[in-house]
Amino acid sequence: MTRDAVLGARRIVVKVGSSSVSGANVGQIDPLVDALVATYQRGVEVVLVSSGAIASAIASLNLDGRPQDLATQQAAAAVGQNVLMWRYQTSLDRYGILAGQVLLTAGDLENPTHRSNAQRAMERLLDLRILPIVNENDTVATQEIRFGDNDRLAALVAELIGADLLVLLSDIDALYTRPPGEPGARPIPYVPFDDDLSGVELGDIGAAGVGTGGAGTKIAAAKHAAATGTPVLLTSTANVALALAGGETGTWFQAQSQAIAE
């Protein structure tokens, strides 16, 4: 059922975190783009929500790690967003596909006028067969710097454009019953819409130091998207090609509309 839903999706939002596309993992950008383009070439409309602006500036600014003070975080975001988009566009150039940068805040999607403007711009980019790459506007917005890792933003974007599927990527291949590596940890392949996951022991999903998200933010984002009608697949960045090809991987969050239909 989940494989059919992936292959039947005509509009997909994919979210990737900072630790998956920066530092030692910057080499994952090309395989990620390969998977997105393979999906795009099936005629699917694809939107990428990518964290990584601050993390991408660490080397350029000769920082020892992710800055802790807000002003430096904002400055790093301004520098790193340029680096991040250059990396994506350079990879997309191999296919002759143009990226379009969309910087949003969660507040933009809560303000009716800003929301309408964002929706119109996104729809036009998709009409033009441009790959929108969305990120939190960390230079002016502080909420996403402190909380989450664009997981909530990805769910809001999926809702905004009426996506058929949201794919949340991290360093871990699925949601587990407890933090992976701990005794007894088991992957959870399927989450029914009405499952509150009360028995799950949460731990961070993602490498420490550059990202700000964890299992809790991903579950919250998945639940939001599912409640607004978009099913969610949570898996690792390394498995993105398999996931977008309809392979068995990750954790599937059933959408409310799917639950009602059943």
Q: Does residue 15 have a known ligand-binding role?
A: yes
Q: Does residue 236 have a known ligand-binding role?
A: no
Q: Does residue 19 have a known ligand-binding role?
A: no
* Beta strand 11-16 pairing with 45-50: parallel
> Measured between alpha carbons, how far is residue 98 from residues 32, 40, 162 in Å?
15, 12, 22
Distance, in Å, from the CA atom of 108 to the CA atom of 113, rounded to the nearest integer, reads 8
Q: Provide the residue-wise pLDDT of the chain in tens; the chain has 262 residues.
A: 678 899 999 999 999 999 999 999 999 999 999 999 999 999 999 999 999 999 999 999 999 999 988 899 999 999 999 999 999 999 999 999 999 999 998 778 888 999 999 999 999 999 999 999 999 888 886 655 444 568 999 999 999 999 999 999 999 999 999 988 889 899 999 999 999 888 888 765 444 445 545 788 899 999 999 999 999 999 999 999 999 999 999 999 999 876 665 5
- The domains found in the chain, sorted by start residue, are 2-261 (3.40.1160.10)
pTM as predicted: 0.92
Distance, in Å, from the CA atom of 47 to the CA atom of 97, rounded to the nearest integer, reads 13
Q: Does residue 164 have a known ligand-binding role?
A: no
Q: Does residue 51 have a known ligand-binding role?
A: yes
Sheet strands (E) in 81-181: 99-104, 131-136, 165-170, 175-176
Q: Does residue 150 have a known ligand-binding role?
A: yes
